[in-house]
Amino acid sequence: MAFQNQILAAVRNNKNIKPIEGSWFEFQHHSAVEGMPWNKTLEKFTAEQWDAKIKELADAGMRYLALLDIAIYGKSFYPSALLPQHQLGCDDPLEVVLSAADKYGIRFFVSNGFFGDWTQSAFLMKDPEIQKLRLKAMNEVAEKYAHHKSFYGWYYPNEIGINGHYTDFFINYVNTSSAEANKLTPKAKSLIGPYGTRHVKADDEFVRQLEQLDVDFIAYQDEIGVQKTRVEESAAIYEKLYHLHKKATKAKLWADVEVFRFEGKVYNSALLPAPPERVIKQLEAVSPYVEKILIYQYGGLINNPGSPVFAGPAESTQLYEELVKHGYLQDHKK
């Protein structure tokens, strides 16, 4: 830990750079076509392999992991009384990764979704029956796992694009989730990662919405990987967000930097590691304006070349090595 803190301190002394301190995390990628390069590998991971992957993430400097989902396609990723369970290489991967995170000093934001069809995000936020199931799952997860010191907070994965402002039903979804989280785990933090970042309207109404949202951290997607924003536009977008969050003085401004590219059509082909030079420019663009940088995502897109739990394409090692070289990731062995 002392070594890791020294690295982080050295990076922060360079005002032009912030380290990658977190990543989204998953047991299976929600889109089968996007996750083709690593889903089959992760599906077979044993408890020992998940432990080793969490250690690799910690050694790379990850301090925060946001678990994308605890359920998908009508099945859970943990033993649940509410849904049947996905058959993976270990019986309770959520228990395994939280136990590993306890050992290696990682803080987890644990998801409260996806219940229902994840592609119908507005419906999932509005439907009262889905909301009941989501809150029941939060109670079940808190009872089973909130004792872990790595259970740092909750991540609310349902998203709707920002079109100038947040929608009222999104704010209600977030605040309903936080009300339950505050009851179950009063000390836990909360995270959202909205898209539509480029469309944020810099006005008093948006500031009012930020003050209304009961959430601790907002990690806006930079939307470079999904080809909605160009790298050269990113700095101005996050500078605008910086000033809005400074006025609201509530949720902390984080970044969700997309380190992927699509093999073919956007949303309809496999995710692959983005060219390192593009990712470095993305990180440089947001660094001056955000408190912390998270990425989407380490798993499947970045691998330590010596990893015993390699998951993803071969070129993922190049992204790892370049990010270490430029100080955005650390290599504990070096």
CATH number of the domain at 62, please. 3.20.20.80
What is the pLDDT confidence band of residue 14, given thresholds at 50, 70 and 90? low
Question: 13 pLDDT exceeds 80?
Answer: no
Query: Is the residue at 86 inside a domain?
Result: yes
184-236 pLDDT per residue, tens: 999 999 999 999 999 999 999 999 999 999 999 999 999 999 999 999 999 99
d(CA 225, CA 273): 10
Strands 217-221 and 20-25: unpaired
In a domain, 12, yes or no: no
- What's the structural domain count of the chain? 1
Q: What is the pLDDT of residues 291-310, one digit of tens each?
A: 999 999 999 999 999 999 99
Q: Which domain holds residue 223?
A: 18-325
Gyration radius of the chain over CA positions: 19
In a domain, 183, yes or no: yes
Whether residue 150 lies inside any domain: the answer is yes
Task: Provide the pLDDT confidence category of residue 332 given band limits of 50, 70 and 90.
Answer: confident
- Residue labelled with tokens 């590219």: 261
pLDDT value for 12: 45
Task: Region of 127 please: left (phi>0), alpha (psi -120 to 50) or beta.
Answer: beta
Report if residue 13 sits inside a domain: no
Q: At what angle do helices 231-248 and 276-286 cross, to 10 degrees?
A: 30
Within a domain: 11: no
Burial of 88 (0-12, 13-18, 19+ CB in 10 A): middle
Tokens (6 digits) for 164: 């100038």
Task: Report if residue 254 sits inside a domain.
Answer: yes
* Residue of 103, 5, 26 whose CA lies nearest to 298: 26
What proportion of the chain, given as a percentage, has pLDDT over 70?
A: 95
Task: Dump pLDDT digits (tens) for 160-191.
Answer: 899 999 999 999 999 999 999 999 999 999 99
Q: For 17-45, what is each residue's pLDDT tens digit?
A: 899 999 999 999 999 999 999 999 999 99
Sign of CA dihedral 89, 94, 95, 98: positive
User: Has residue 177 been placed in a domain?
Assistant: yes
Tokens of 259: 């380190």
